[in-house]
Amino acid sequence: MREDKQYYVYILTNKSNKVLYIGVTNNLVRRMFEHKNKLVEGFAKKYNLTKLVYYDLTNDVESAINREKQLKNWHRDWKINLITKFNPSLRPPSCLLALEGDGASFER
């Protein structure tokens, strides 16, 4: 049985919600582990962006990449509106409690 791939477009911020980072990955749990433990050099590590406030899921990698590019071109206010519709409390989605445990995969 063939398992379909899943791709996530996600937005991170810091504790004060001042800086936004948009990324794409095929394994959100692994990628969040990398961000939280600062395992990858770059923008997210430099600005301590470890708080997931938005994600979207697709089975098509091209759609994920195109959505990432689209969001990166949006004005900040548009991004904030998207985030607050998805996540009004700006708390990490409850599905990420898996990150505190065994790192199992999850669904929104």
Query: Does residue 2 belong to any structural domain of this protein?
Result: no
Half-sphere exposure of 86 (CA within 13 A, CB side): 19
Residue 35 lies in a domain: yes
pLDDT of residue 3: 58
71 found inside a domain: yes
**Residue 47 counted as domain residue:** yes
Residue 105 in any domain: the answer is no
For residue 15, tell me if it sits in a domain: yes
Integer Cα distance of 12 and 31 in angstroms: 11
In whole angstroms, give the CA distance from residue 83 to residue 80: 5
The reported pLDDT for the residue numbered 98 is 46
Q: What is the CATH number of the domain that holds 22?
A: 3.40.1440
Block means of pLDDT (10 residues each) for the chain, 108 residues, are: 80 93 96 95 96 94 97 96 86 54 35
Residue 21 lies in a domain: yes
SS3 call for 33? helix
Alpha helices in the chain (DSSP H): 28-36, 43-46, 61-73, 76-86, 97-100
Q: What is residue 45's predicted lDDT score, i.e. its pLDDT?
A: 96
Model pLDDT, residue 101: 40
- The whole-number pLDDT of residue 43 equals 96
2 contacts: CB under 8 Å, gap ≥ 6: none
Angle at the Cα of 37 (from 86 to 58), degrees rounded to 5?
35
- Does residue 85 fall inside a structural domain? yes
